[in-house]
Amino acid sequence: MPTERPKAAFVITRGDSIGGGQIHVRDMASALQNSGVDVCVFSGTQGALQEELSQRGIAHRLVPGLVRAISPLHDLRAVLNLASELRQFRPQLISCHTAKAGLVGRLAGWLVGVPTIFTAHGWQFAEGISVWQKAIVLTLEFLLARISRKIITVSGYDQNLALHFRLGSRHKIYLVHNGMPNLLSSSPSLRGSSTVRLIVVARFQEQKDHATLFSALQTLEDLPWSLDLIGDGPERERWEQWVNDRQWSQRVTFAGQVLDVPRRLEASDIFVLPSLWEGFPRSILEAMRASLPVAATDVGGVSESVIDGKTGFLVPPKNPWALAKALGALMADGALRRQMGAAGRHRFEAEFTFDAMYEKTMSVWQKAGWVGPRRDQSATAWVGKTP
């Protein structure tokens, strides 16, 4: 009789958007499937993620009740629904991503007796989050860590937080930095306009702190710049109105959620991320891959990718004056932009490719009991691409 192919399940809350967690799941699922693993992605909503999974021939299923908001009734329903789906799919391992999926996925995995790994794409008890939320999340994470086979953090900052709050030891909590497919770097011919093109890839929500960005740009209003804002979110309409009132409509573009982020980065000059808190932003890696200098706030694991003064500038959060100073220096000096962009591209190639992340992740999976194949040379051949 033929040997049954190994199976792996991914659990993530949202399928109706493409953020860091969704990209991670999509690319890992693609690589595993190309290695001969049967993969299924379980999520609470359907949308852009499922479309990309379908293009790659990756199975996906909806889990009723799996929502972001805390809701004991919905959460219990989601756990039971997911447990039922897992019994049918029969994976050897479950990989959970984002906080709510980590809760539901680990409880469902415990019910059906399947080892689970939780990947924390930034803890919900990090700096910048309210005290009451920290207390609730820490209590839950402490309990859930007991039924997790392993925990992966995407930054050393998050690994140290987990160790500090005793969610586990270094034998349970592993650091695996995010990685991106190694696409070609940008062509210099796409740059060189007299107008310096800034780009931000971030949801319009409190965490990303667009207020500090716009305050900084007000002090640079007389310089020749344009701004491309990628992403949607609850605060988008507010900032669209602000831009209209400021009469900046000709220089600020609200692109929404788009699928051509790499092309837009290629055509930009400076990447900006003014967040209040972060784990290890994939958007910064995309910018480094595109040979862009980065101006970002020094929060979470950002300093693990951006080297201040070499690949970009790090500034304190909620400090528009410091951000304006960094942006002003980059706007004024094209040679500096090119130098920092090239250094960022070199650092990306050395440290943050998808292949490096995949191999380290598979090593953790093996420590958790995974016995599926690692990969052959072709496993990552079409990761992140549209067939």
Percent of the chain with pLDDT over 70: 93
| Cα pseudo-dihedral 242, 244, 245, 247, rounded to 10 | 120
Burial 296-330 (b: 16+ CB within 10 A, else e): bbbbbbbebbbeeeebbbbbebebbebbbbbbbeb
Domains 7-181+353-367 and 188-350 share a fold: yes
pLDDT digits (tens, 9 = 90+) for 46-95: 898 999 999 999 999 999 989 877 778 889 999 999 999 999 999 999 99
Lowest mean pLDDT among 107-111, 184-188, 225-229, 374-378: 374-378
pLDDT digits (tens, 9 = 90+) for 114-169: 999 999 998 888 776 677 778 888 999 999 999 999 999 999 999 999 999 999 99
pLDDT the model gives residue 385: 44
User: Which position has the token pair 């192919």?
Assistant: 5
For 7-181+353-367, give the CATH class: alpha beta
Give dist(CA 296, CA 327) in Å, integer.
10
**Residue of 122, 180, 116 whose CA lies nearest to 148:** 116
pLDDT digits (tens, 9 = 90+) for 252-297: 999 998 888 999 999 999 999 999 988 899 999 999 999 999 999 9
Give dist(CA 306, CA 308) in Å, integer.
6
Q: In the predicted model, what is the mean pLDDT of residues 317-332?
A: 97
State which fold the 188-350 domain adopts. Answer: Rossmann fold (3.40.50)
pLDDT at residue 380 is higher than 70: no
pLDDT the model gives residue 374: 56
Give dist(CA 140, CA 21) in Å, integer.
20
- 310's enclosing H/E stretch is none
Per-domain residue ranges of the chain:
7-181+353-367, 188-350
3-class SS of residue 294? strand
199 burial (CB, 10 Å; 0-12 / 13-18 / 19+) is: buried
**Residue of 101, 89, 96 whose CA lies nearest to 117:** 96
3-class SS of residue 348? helix
Rounded to two decimals, the pTM is 0.85
- The per-residue DSSP string of 176-217 comes to ----B--PPPPPGGG---SSEEEEEE--SSGGG-HHHHHHHH
- pLDDT, mean over the chain: 90
Which stretches does DSSP call E strand in the chain?
7-12, 38-43, 59-62, 93-97, 116-120, 150-153, 173-175, 196-201, 225-230, 252-256, 270-273, 294-297, 312-315
Q: In the predicted model, what is the mean pLDDT of residues 185-197?
A: 67
pLDDT the model gives residue 190: 53
Give dist(CA 371, CA 115) in Å, integer.
12
In whole angstroms, how far apart are CA 134 and each of 20, 125, 278? 22, 4, 15
Lowest mean pLDDT among 89-103, 294-308, 364-378: 364-378
Token pair of 283 as six digits: 């958007």
pLDDT the model gives residue 185: 56
pLDDT digits (tens, 9 = 90+) for 43-57: 999 898 999 999 999
